[in-house]
Amino acid sequence: EAQVTQNPRYLITVTGKKLTVTCSQNMNHEYMSWYRQDPGLGLRQIYYSMNVEVTDKGDVPEGYKVSRKEKRNFPLILESPSPNQTSLYFCASSLSWDYNSPLHFGNGTRLTVT
Amino acid sequence: RKEVEQDPGPFNVPEGATVAFNCTYSNSASQSFFWYRQDCRKEPKLLMSVYSSGNEDGRFTAQLNRASQYISLLIRDSKLSDSATYLCVVNHEAGNQFYFGTGTSLTVIP
């Protein structure tokens, strides 16, 4: 089944404890990205990647890191999480960075930082 | 100014009604347009892409107005299962960012 897989689905952690949210797609998509969704603010892009070893900042990259060592994987790293990073996170992929390639989303990671 | 703006609603309509949502975008160079559906606490799912000439998929019709910089979604014969939040998405540069509206909430009432 073609899909984008995120793990974990739920995560509760404490301030400053490094964590990684994994994202993997099995559709050979070139483009991958991370979003956070907060009430009233909609989905905001954190980082995106057009291909292996190519990553760029989105609108809200502060406090996050990503890597794209393989085409299928695009982990999101929080080196020192803070409470303002409590949010619902989505990973997404797209066939290519070309026009009219829609995004396919993972089923989300709900992160709480205390 | 936000890249993409939507009326948040909520829209409460009876079954069988026709409902329309609009979404405006600020960048005239925008090239790709999509409507997504999001159920509570779940991932957004592609409803339909929006093409320049307009397009239809069953009860759903999407239109693009480049002159006024808005896209619309029309839902005919609303079903209870159409209750969700509808997001418009715009991409104005290949290989760059996708911009999301904050979503329009629809509840279809029996």
pLDDT tens for each residue of B33-69: 999 999 998 999 999 999 888 899 999 999 999 999 9
pLDDT on residue B94: 57
Interface contact A42-B87, CB threshold 8 A: yes
| Pure H helices in chain A | none
Answer whether B25 touches A (CB < 8 Å): no
Answer whether B67 touches A (CB < 8 Å): no
pLDDT on residue B31: 84
Looking at the DSSP bridge assignments, the partners of residue A37 are A43, A88
pLDDT tens for each residue of B7-31: 888 999 999 999 999 999 998 888 8
Amino acid identity at A38: D
Query: How close, in Å, is residue A46 to chain B by CA atoms?
Result: 10
CB contacts < 8 A, A to B, total 58
How far apart, in whole angstroms, are the C-alpha atoms of residue B103 and residue B5? 9
pLDDT on residue B30: 85
pLDDT on residue A75: 98
Interface contact A99-B46, CB threshold 8 A: no
How does DSSP classify residue A39? T
